[in-house]
């Protein structure tokens, strides 16, 4: 630990408060709405030009070959790198530049980045342009500290996190730009609150079940086979035969809110009848499709999760002769957990203690974020989310981030980077 360098870094960040506010506002003014992926290129160029002025080597990566990378909506990522001492670790700060659509209920212009009562309002202020700005200011201030023991700092602005990140972090990991061979630590400043370190997320399995029946006149249902009745049997068996067991399972991961520590199953969508035709049909339902959302725990192997659903289907098959049912995967994301002994978790926790004077809380996210791509494709296990803003107000109307929290998060990141570089 080098208290002088740390104190200087914290002071420089505090002095850069106005600059941090203006950088956040500049980023929010780019309406990088996803879908469809608006204004990615100007936003990436803006970041790249700023970082280049600060001495970073800047590269742009288009998601060439991916269907969503189009002329109208190019997927442009930016990665900046500054090497100070190559014998020390490389720390990568990553923020997604896309924001979710505006939606209704706003009382302020979502892209004006209005400053009021110590907050900045706008789409993406919390999730996560405020966090990205705080990371940039943290890095820039650290680089201004005389003789600070810094290794290599990388900063990336990536696309499409809100829709899965395949043209963003996943693409950069696939082409070998984000890899454990060159990166030791990754901080993703998602809005998890300034005193919490997020060490991963639960798994997600979306699957479709489709039952097929036999059409007949609705006045004589005994002549047909109802696909909807068959789906009803499946739903009943899931509710009675599986859900009680899922609810008993609690993960050891500190998922917030606490109710999300249990394994869950949700029916996201259901449709049935003469699928593809008018809703009202005078017939016995020919087809029924349901999309299920199973959130599974790090303690649940995916094979067991799948086998449980197979067993439910088997039980219904035995009870319902002639059941015609297919199952298909829609999405699979494995759970992620940063190793408990990770120096990254320790450095951020002690920086939270130093800067905020209170103990850090370790949390995990109920949903997923780009952590999965860094770890599963890039092989980087020292990855966490840490950043300013409140998860619950992300994606909402009148989204905001607190200016004090922006500054505190930047100070925590600067102190943590210093400790990781020194160690
Ligand atoms: Zn986010």
Separation of CA 132 and ligand 1 centre (Å): 10
Separation of CA 215 and ligand 1 centre (Å): 46
Q: What DSSP string runs through 303-334?
A: HHHHHHHHHHHHHHHHHSTT--EEEEEEEEE-
Instruction: Examine domains 3-201+336-422 and 203-333 and report if their fold is the same.
Output: no
Residue 274's pLDDT is 84
Give the residue with greater pLDDT, 369 vs 277: 369
Residue 105's pLDDT is 97
Cα separation, 373 vs 379, whole angstroms: 8
Q: What DSSP string runs through 133-181?
A: HHHHHHHHHHHHSTT----EEEEEEES-GGGTSTTTHHHHHHTTSS-TT
Residues 6+ apart with CB under 8 A from 182: 90
3-state SS assignment for residue 256: coil
Residue 277's pLDDT is 65
Cα separation, 315 vs 301, whole angstroms: 22
Separation of CA 276 and ligand 1 centre (Å): 35
Confidence of residue 132 (pLDDT cuts 50, 70, 90): very high
Separation of CA 170 and ligand 1 centre (Å): 15
CATH class entry, domain 203-333 = alpha beta
Listed range (24-38, 78-92, 119-133, 264-278) with the worst mean pLDDT:
264-278
Cα separation, 196 vs 360, whole angstroms: 5
Separation of CA 40 and ligand 1 centre (Å): 15
Separation of CA 177 and ligand 1 centre (Å): 21
| Residues lying with their CB under 5 A of ligand 1, a single-atom ion | 127-128, 190
- Contact between 160 and 68 under an 8 Å Cβ cutoff? The reply is yes
Separation of CA 395 and ligand 1 centre (Å): 9
Q: Give exposure, 351-379, as e/b (b: 16+ Cβ within 10 Å).
A: bbebbeeeebebbbbbebbbbbbbbebbe
Does residue 1 carry a pLDDT above 70?
A: no
Gyration radius of the chain over CA positions: 24
Give the residue with greater pLDDT, 282 vs 165: 165
Cα separation, 210 vs 231, whole angstroms: 8
Residues found in the chain: 423
Residue 242's pLDDT is 97
- Alpha-carbon distances of 314 from 246, 289, 294, 319, 323, rounded to whole Å: 18, 18, 19, 9, 10
Separation of CA 172 and ligand 1 centre (Å): 18
Separation of CA 180 and ligand 1 centre (Å): 23
Separation of CA 401 and ligand 1 centre (Å): 13
Homologous superfamily (CATH) of 3-201+336-422 is: Zn peptidases (3.40.630.10)
Separation of CA 7 and ligand 1 centre (Å): 30
Does residue 140 carry a pLDDT above 80?
A: yes
**What is the pLDDT averaged over residues 213-238?**
96
Confidence of residue 367 (pLDDT cuts 50, 70, 90): confident
Domain segments of the chain: what residues? 3-201+336-422, 203-333
**What is the pLDDT averaged over residues 296-321?**
97
Separation of CA 101 and ligand 1 centre (Å): 13
Identify the CA nearest to 361 among candidates 384, 395, 336: 384
DSSP label at residue 102: -
Cα separation, 166 vs 143, whole angstroms: 32
Separation of CA 126 and ligand 1 centre (Å): 8
**What is the pLDDT averaged over residues 45-53?**
98
Confidence of residue 205 (pLDDT cuts 50, 70, 90): very high
**What is the pLDDT averaged over residues 388-416?**
96
Separation of CA 392 and ligand 1 centre (Å): 12
- Alpha-carbon distances of 297 from 208, 251, 302, rounded to whole Å: 20, 6, 9
Identify the CA nearest to 399 among candidates 110, 205, 154, 8: 110
Identify the CA nearest to 80 among candidates 102, 110, 49: 49
Separation of CA 351 and ligand 1 centre (Å): 23
Separation of CA 135 and ligand 1 centre (Å): 14
Cα separation, 402 vs 386, whole angstroms: 15
Separation of CA 188 and ligand 1 centre (Å): 9
């Amino acid at each position: 630990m080098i208290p002088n360098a740390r104190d200087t870094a914290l002071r420089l960040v505090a002095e850069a408060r106005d600059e941090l506010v203006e950088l956040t506002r500049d980023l929010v003014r780019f309406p990088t709405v996803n879908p469809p992926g608006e204004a990615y290129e100007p936003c990436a160029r803006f970041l790249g030009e700023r970082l280049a002025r600060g001495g970073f080597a800047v590269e742009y990566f288009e998601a060439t070959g991916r269907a969503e990378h189009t002329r109208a909506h190019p997927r442009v990522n930016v990665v900046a790198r500054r090497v100070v001492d190559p014998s020390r670790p490389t720390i990568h700060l990553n923020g997604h530049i896309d924001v979710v659509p505006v939606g209704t209920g706003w009382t302020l212009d979502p892209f004006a980045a209005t400053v009021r009562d110590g907050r900045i309002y706008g789409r993406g202020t919390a999730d996560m342009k405020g966090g990205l700005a705080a990371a940039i200011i943290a890095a820039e201030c650290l680089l201004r500290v005389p003789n600070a023991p810094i290794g290599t700092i990388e900063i990336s602005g990536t696309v499409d996190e809100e829709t899965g990140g395949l043209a963003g972090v996943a693409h950069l990991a696939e082409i070998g730009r984000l890899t454990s061979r060159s990166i030791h630590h990754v901080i993703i400043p998602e809005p998890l609150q300034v005193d919490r370190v997020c060490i991963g997320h639960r798994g997600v399995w979306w699957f479709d079940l489709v039952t097929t029946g036999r059409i007949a006149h609705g006045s004589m249902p005994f002549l047909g086979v109802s696909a909807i009745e068959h789906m009803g049997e499946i739903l009943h068996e899931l509710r009675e035969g599986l859900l009680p067991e899922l609810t008993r399972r609690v993960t050891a991961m500190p998922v917030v809110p606490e109710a999300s520590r249990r394994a869950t199953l949700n029916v996201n969508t259901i449709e049935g009848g003469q699928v593809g035709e008018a809703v009202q049909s005078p017939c016995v339902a020919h087809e029924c499709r349901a999309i299920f959302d199973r959130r599974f725990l790090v303690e649940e192997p995916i094979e067991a999760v799948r086998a449980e659903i197979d067993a439910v289907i088997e039980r219904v098959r035995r009870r319902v002769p002639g059941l015609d049912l297919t199952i298909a995967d829609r999405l699979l994301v494995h759970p992620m957990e940063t190793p408990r002994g990770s120096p990254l978790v320790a450095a951020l926790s002690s920086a939270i203690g130093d800067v905020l004077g209170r103990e850090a809380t370790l949390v995990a996210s109920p949903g997923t974020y780009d952590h999965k791509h860094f770890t599963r494709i890039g092989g980087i296990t020292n990855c966490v989310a840490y950043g300013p803003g409140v998860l619950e107000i992300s994606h909402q109307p009148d989204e905001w981030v607190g200016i004090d929290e922006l500054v505190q998060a930047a100070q925590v990141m600067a102190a943590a980077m210093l400790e990781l570089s020194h160690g």
